[in-house]
Amino acid sequence: MTTSFITFRRAGPYSTVQDMGRTGHQSVGVPESGALNRFALKLGNRLVGNPDHAAGIEICMGGVTVSINTTRRVALTGTVDSTLLITDAYGHQMEIKANRSVTVRAGLSIMINALSDTNTAYLAVSGGIGTPLLYQSRSTSPNAMIGGWQGRCIADGDQLPLLDDQSADTSENMSEWMIENPDMFAPKDMFRVVLGPQDNRFTEQAITTFLSSEYTVSPLLNRMGMRLDGDLLTHIDNADIASDGIVTGSIQVPGDGMPIILLADHQTTGGYTKIATVIKPDIPALASRKPGQAVRFTAVSVDEAETLSRQAEDQFQAMLKQMVAPPPVIDIASLYQLGDTTGD
């Protein structure tokens, strides 16, 4: 049996293997990691016939070119405007829109150029990425140097193993699928937060400033956290607390008064005051923001956050019901595999 693998001719600036994360181990200092936009990765997996938890490639900013040594279905998600550019050995190309699956024959080049409408997108491959499991997850945490491919970002020339394509066992799963206009991936700049747990350590003016100001995403951005630029937030006394637990979306404010939103690879504890927490359903849109783009906040209650989380899951399930068969595409590998057949 042929061993299947995906080869990265260009890995891009910050591409990693991610799945739904390694939950339940923060008590021993292991970060959860996992896809920043879990809805997008789940959609990609559904489009190519994988289980929701299958590992895919999280792409930051784009600039990725890969090839696969066996025929597989692929899908690009987490973006609306970006595309897959598939090229055969003769230079013939076809462009495939995001949020649809396409079967790609062995050896063809698959390119994702610079992402135009998001900072984070996902490449799902039928079967899923087959890097080793660590604490029941294949996700990469580059800061902790664990998981994924050798505990690091993917580099040019890396060859990652693929799992067997179980979807090939059923004709229904082998069908191509698409979502026409996934509203969940539309960009936004307003994010809902629950204030606290240390909002009482800030002046009243700081809380007002936090909820009324427009911040911008700093270039200091990675999977661990997003530093913001904008109006300073003033502490009543100082920024230090006894270290306590952190969740994805926690907004720390260190002594310089500038907020930092902690993301999927965040440390498990921290010793700075946290003014608020971004609610779970808003994390995917937050992760799509690029350096220089605006970020604003509005406060909701815990009960409202729980309701909004359930509504987001309902919205995702409703979106999945809109999956339809896409228009056919020309199989360029079959069309040109014999080269010029005109006889001239």
Give the model confidence (pLDDT) of 49-59 as tens digits: 999 999 999 99
Rounded-to-integer distance, Cα 66 and Cα 212, Å: 44
With cut-offs at 50, 70 and 90, classify the pLDDT of residue 339: very low
With cut-offs at 50, 70 and 90, classify the pLDDT of residue 326: confident
Instruction: Specify the pTM.
Output: 0.92
Average pLDDT, the chain: 92
Q: How many CB atoms lie within 10 A of CB 242?
A: 6
- CATH code 2.40.100.10 region(s) in the chain: 190-318
Give the residue among 1, 9, 15 at the shortest CA–CA distance from 222. 15
Structure token digits, residue 38: 């879990």
pLDDT tens-digit map of 158-193: 999 999 987 655 444 457 999 987 888 888 999 999
Q: What is the DSSP string of 243-312?
A: EEE--TTEEE--TT---EEE-TT--SEEEE-EEEEE-GGGHHHHHTPPTT-EEEEEE--HHHHHHHHHHH
Contacts of 165 (CB under 8 A, 6+ apart): 4, 49, 72, 73, 126, 127
With cut-offs at 50, 70 and 90, classify the pLDDT of residue 330: low
Rounded-to-integer distance, Cα 61 and Cα 97, Å: 17
What is the dotted CATH code of the domain comprising 190-318?
2.40.100.10
